[in-house]
């Protein structure tokens, strides 16, 4: 990958593409850090609140609902 980037840097038009690509990746990383990445809530000292983690189903995000009996 580094070799491809070096070869692209030789020509003026592809050099511009490398710079724009680097700026684009930096913007994507900033947006991800601010809005997309899930945040962990640290429990307050003295709090008895249970921290969430992987349950018996192995679903760390708690997105799956438990199975229900058919009606």
Mean pLDDT check: name the lowest of 5-9, 32-36, 48-52, 61-65.
Answer: 48-52
| Residues 23, 17 contacting (CB under 8 angstroms) | no
pLDDT recorded at residue 37: 74
Token duo for residue 41: 């809530």
Mean pLDDT, to the nearest integer, of 32-48?
70
If phi > 0 it is left, if psi is from -120 to 50 it is alpha, else beta; for residue 3 that is alpha
Alpha-carbon distances of 59 from 44, 50, 63, rounded to whole Å:
24, 16, 7
Residues recorded for the chain: 71
pLDDT recorded at residue 24: 97
């Amino acid at each position: 990958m580094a070799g491809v980037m070096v070869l692209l840097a030789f020509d003026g038009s592809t050099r511009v593409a490398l710079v724009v690509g680097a700026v684009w990746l930096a913007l994507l990383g900033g947006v991800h850090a601010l809005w997309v990445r899930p945040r962990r809530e640290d429990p307050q000292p003295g709090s008895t609140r249970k921290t969430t983690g992987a349950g018996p189903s192995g679903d760390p995000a708690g997105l799956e609902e438990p199975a229900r009996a058919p009606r």
